[in-house]
Chains A and B, each alone.
Chain A
Amino acid sequence: NAGVTQTPKFQVLKTGQSMTLQCAQDMNHEYMSWYRQDPGMGLRLIHYSVGAGITDQGEVPNGYNVSRSTTEDFPLRLLSAAPSQTSVYFCASSYSRFSYEQYFGPGTRLTVT
């Protein structure tokens, strides 16, 4: 198993550009989520999904869109990047929505200039 994979590892965007951060897992996990990590602030939940076709907002959803068309994939879309979205983004998955161990991908470091 590859576990949770994320692409790209690094990305630089100009203000106003759009992009999609990819996340995939091969563990048949029901629950997937996206976090951002800013210096000194820990990880904050952006969006999560409890299964294919079902998504919901976390703590900091503004400026981000998600969809979950398959169990394996959970892409995060930035429609119009802003410097405030400069951060490290982590994707995570767990077996079920009902409180199981969470596994993290390696992260994507995004800089918006």
Chain B
Amino acid sequence: GIQVEQSPPDLILQEGANSTLRCNFSDSVNNLQWFHQNPWGQLINLFYIPSGTKQNGRLSATTVATERYSLLYISSSQTTDSGVYFCAVYGTYKYIFGTGTRLKVLA
């Protein structure tokens, strides 16, 4: 089956810093989503991005499907960005999740 790897597994930032999270996948996929799981456990959709680049405020994402990776950029990080960031890829009727990047932003 499709393998999804995320890096780094853990990240600690000072407020205001920028970061890049990476998601690699092992096979061609039809779709990719990025999620943020906040400290209360809620899963929040960030980007639906099968290819190309999207931006939403301080966050942006780029997926290069032909090279099987996606990047999530967080600029000017805030303490509310803390939590776990997951990417999920969609193969044949199934979403497969990576194990996530745990981000902690310090005030």
Instruction: State the A residues within 8 Å of B (CB).
Output: 31, 33, 35, 40-45, 48, 50, 56, 58-59, 88, 90, 92, 97-104, 106-107, 109
Contacts and interface: CB of A to CB of B under 8 A. Distances in A.
A66 B100 CA distance: 27
Contacts of A31: 93
Given A58-B94, A90-B43, A107-B41, A101 B99 contact: no
B16 to A, nearest CB: 29
B90 to A, nearest CB: 5
B33 A101 contact: yes
Contacts of B100: 42
Contacts of A88: 41
Interface residues of B, number: 22
| Residue from the set A41, A45, A56 with the largest chain B CB neighbour count within 10 Å | A45
Given A88-B41, A106-B42, A107-B41, A99 B97 contact: no
Nearest to B100: A42
Contacts of A33: 95
A50 B99 contact: no
B99 A102 contact: no
A43 B94 CA distance: 12
| Residue from the set B31, B45, B93 with the largest chain A CB neighbour count within 10 Å | B93
Contact of B94 (A42, A48, A107): A48
B93 A102 contact: no
